Chains A and B, each alone.
Chain A
């Protein structure tokens, strides 16, 4: 098949230039960036809410916002960060942008479904946030929405919350189906599964989790909304309902959800490290199998969130063992990454700094995770700031660090320009210091008696809470160099050329930014996306 020049295609598509990003574009690259920008805006909103939380916690009294507002704030903060920032960006943004390149396709399998999946997100997000401004109306029962609390707090806000999460879950399922179809069915001839860049495997695993577990959440929330609106009694103990069943159903989705947030990040790091260390990804095959193991184990560990919920001992033991074993495939991945760096020619640029810091942070969060998996340990720290520390090390220190690293790495692909390295390092330094200052002390707070989701606390904990708040302030400041960098370099940044990193993965084998249908001719067949070292001649 011969291809017309890219400009011919552009003529056929809807709006040009920046207007594209506000259109119902079917181009996977446009959709990917729509996810990214939209997600980043929600990240700023969620961050502002975190600012309210940390300001309230500056002093031991509840004196900054009302107690109801505080609970609304923490509920919206969690929901926005998970469903509107991390999941859409680490899956939707990078997945849509990169997967078609990696499989050698010109777009995703179902471009229209893809656009629908994205366009569900802004209305769902706006709906959710707007409920915050109707006094006393936003959901107040945490991102977990446990009944009976979620049945007794103001109904309007809880129903809006459910509706919004259902829309976002729908978007996620559409995306998941699309990724599975694209990876399995749209590979260019000759491209075998075991030749795919690792991010494809991560997205395949993630999408399987999305498709298997999100419908369970949807069903659960629909029943919860019946309880609220129609006064049914599925989860209402005064009508014979069972509140613990809700927790099982909720975590049947929400534990896999933590892997939906982190497996893609594992995939992205596996792309970044080999390129900037100039070495093949160490242990490709074990990496693939460990992703599969994580997907399987991730589905059978949910009740580790319920060790104090009245679970019988056999259940506590089963879930302790299953959860602990996730550390095995996860450990393999970390050792493989370290081995990838060993003996390399490591460029310590912003993309790498964020990726290496991800390793540090995630190992820390993984270790506290294995500790939390032990029932006798968890019984003390469950629902305390220790858990808050744990999951921020994982979700922020892990996934968000990877998102930032990926931004530095792929920005030249998106725009043809390089982000400024000095601003990038400043951004890294502020983020790394602020992050650790904010979340490390929380482990101590939890161990010593500070429960989570409180607006007031024992005055003995004031100093550490203030330290944590200072860290949060640094994190807020750290977004400034990032924002300046992105805006300024988009206009007059250094030109990157098509392949500034001398990379071998397929997305770099076309122009930057790429033409509308990705390739100027046939898609190249990349059989060794990590063939550094032995293929020096091939790149010349």
Chain B
């Protein structure tokens, strides 16, 4: 290959990679994060966005370059070169996506583990060796039948103290939150910063989904199959809770808020709202 071609390819690739990295790191497409999960997510997003930009731009530039450079001049009725393939080249471009995909897969596994996604795996495996069916029948409640979610129990508690459980009931077209510790029932979720929250979710009628974009978390709420979702909020503020699964005519209106408060403000709220009888 002539040295000029090598240089041109090298320069083009470098420019491309730098552009991709720049775009991935500087173009922000996400809303501000508000959970410990979000920063991990945003890291993954940057990496995927960078790789995606490099691949997309590379292919589009190559395509447009070919369309211009190899366009048919008027009157030219001849054919192009009779090249039917090139095994080494084809191996190279089998390898490119394979390597990219392998890297992306391993990296996103790492991210998933850091989000606490693998916690249930250990749980689950342990139960598989026991009698899983019995567990699900006996305990009736959530354990053993709970699938999915992320960061499910089994993780050690976040520094903010013990895990705070909240029961979530979804129905057409509202979310209801119940705090078992203080017997508060509310339509708006209040949580303190820095403490791990564990939502135990059940649906009354059809499938709904709990989604807070600023937390980068979503979990379906499934009738007949309780699910758990856990997170730690990091930034005070009010964020939307959005139902993300088509659940009927008012699905688009099925929204609520999660109010994230500093621990003191949250304690105040707790005090004011705890029913007197159960106030301890």
Real binding pair: yes
A13 proximal to B (CB < 8 A)? no
Contact residue among A148, A374, A456 (Cβ-Cβ distance under 8 Å from B253): A456
Which of B67, B81, B120, B217 is the one whose CB lies under 8 Å from A379? B217
Looking at the complex, which of A109-117, A180-188, A319-327 is the stretch in contact with chain B? A319-327
Contact string against A for B residues 129-161, beta-carbon threshold 8 Å, 1 for contact and 0 otherwise:
000000000000000000111100000000000
Check if A380 sits within 8 Å of B213, measured CB to CB. yes
Which of B7-15, B104-112, B192-200, B272-280 lies at the binding interface? B104-112
B residues near A341, Cβ cutoff 8 Å: 63, 66-67, 70
Closest B residue, CB atoms, query A344 = B80
Q: A346-B71, A533-B80 are in contact. Are A308 and B97 (CB under 8 A)?
A: no
Interface flag for B209 (CB, 8 Å): yes
The residues of B that contact A429 with a CB separation of less than 8 Å are none
Could you tell me the distance between the alpha carbons of A238 and B96 in the complex, rounded to whole angstroms?
A: 50
Complex Cα distance, B251 from A141, in Å, reads 11
Separation of A382 and B211 alpha carbons in the complex (Å): 10
A141 in contact with B246 (CB, 8 Å): yes
List, in ascending order, chain A residues with CB within 8 A of B223's CB.
Answer: 148, 237-238, 243
Q: How far is the CA of A370 from the CA of B105 in the complex (A)?
A: 10
Question: What 0/1 readout, one digit per residue, does chain B (18-38) give for beta carbons within 8 Å of chain A?
Answer: 000000000001110000000
A132, CB-defined interface residue at 8 Å: no
Query: With contacts A237-B224, A346-B67, A363-B59 known, is A451 near B83, CB below 8 A?
Result: no
The answer to whether the Cβ of B269 comes within 8 Å of any Cβ in the partner chain is: no
Minimum distance in angstroms from B261 CB to a CB of chain A:
21
**Complex: chain B residue closest to A283, CB-CB:** B85
**CB <8 Å contact, A343 and B80:** yes
Interface string of B208-233 (1 = CB under 8 A from A): 01010100111110111101000000
Pair B71/A348 contact, Cβ less than 8 Å = yes
CA distance A69 to B98 in the complex (A): 45
Specify which chain A residues have a CB less than 8 angstroms from the CB of B84 in the assembled complex: 280-284, 530
Tell which of B87-95, B163-171, B176-184 binds the partner: B87-95
- Name the B residues within 8 Å of A148 (CB-CB): 205-207, 223
A312 at the interface (CB under 8 A from B): yes
Is B41 touching A360 in the complex (CB atoms < 8 A)? no
A75 to chain B, nearest CB (A): 9
Tell me the minimal C-beta distance from A132 to chain B in angstroms: 16
Chain B window 256-267, contacts with chain A (Cβ cutoff 8 Å), 1 for yes, 0 for no: 000000000000
Cα-based distance from A346 to B79 in the complex (angstroms): 9
- CB neighbours (8 Å) of A465 from chain B are none
Q: How far is the CA of A452 from the CA of B251 in the complex (A)?
A: 10
Q: A346 contacts which chain B residues (CB < 8 A)?
A: 66-67, 70-72
**Taking A533-B80, A533-B82 as contacts, is the C-beta distance between A313 and B252 under 8 angstroms?**
no
B102 CB to nearest A CB, Å: 8
Minimum Cβ distance to chain A for residue B46 (Å):
11
Q: Are B124 and A313 in contact (CB under 8 A)?
A: yes
For B235-253 the 0/1 string (1 means CB < 8 A from A) is 0000010111111111111
Query: CA of A447 to CA of B33 in the docked complex: distance in angstroms?
Result: 12
Give the distance in Å from the alpha carbon of A360 to the alpha carbon of B209 in the complex: 34
Kindly provide the distance from the CB of A84 to the nearest chain B CB, expressed in whole angstroms: 21
Cα-based distance from A454 to B44 in the complex (angstroms): 28
Of A328, A383, A536, the residue contacting B218 (CB under 8 A) is A383
Which chain A residues lie closer than 8 Å to B112 at the CB level? 316-317, 374-376
Residues of A within 8 Å of B224, CB to CB, are: 237-238, 240-243
Interface flags, A302-333, vs B, CB<8A=1, else 0: 00000011111110110011001101101110
Q: Find chain A residues with CB under 8 A from B71 CB.
A: 345-348
Residues of A that sit less than 8 Å from B by CB: 62, 66-68, 70-71, 140-142, 146, 148-149, 152-153, 237-238, 240-244, 277-286, 308-314, 316-317, 320-321, 324-325, 327-328, 330-332, 334-336, 338-339, 341-348, 356, 359-360, 363-364, 367-368, 370-371, 374-377, 379-380, 382-384, 443-444, 447-449, 451-458, 502, 530-534, 536
What are the 6 closest A-B residue pairs judged by CB atoms, nearest first?
A533-B82, A237-B224, A454-B252, A331-B97, A67-B249, A449-B213
| Supplied contacts A62-B253, A377-B45, A443-B29, 10 more A-B pairs, CB within 8 Å | A148-B206, A279-B79, A280-B84, A310-B148, A312-B148, A316-B112, A348-B71, A360-B59, A374-B105, A452-B244
7 contacts between A and B (CB under 8 A): A148-B223, A238-B223, A241-B224, A278-B80, A310-B220, A374-B48, A379-B150
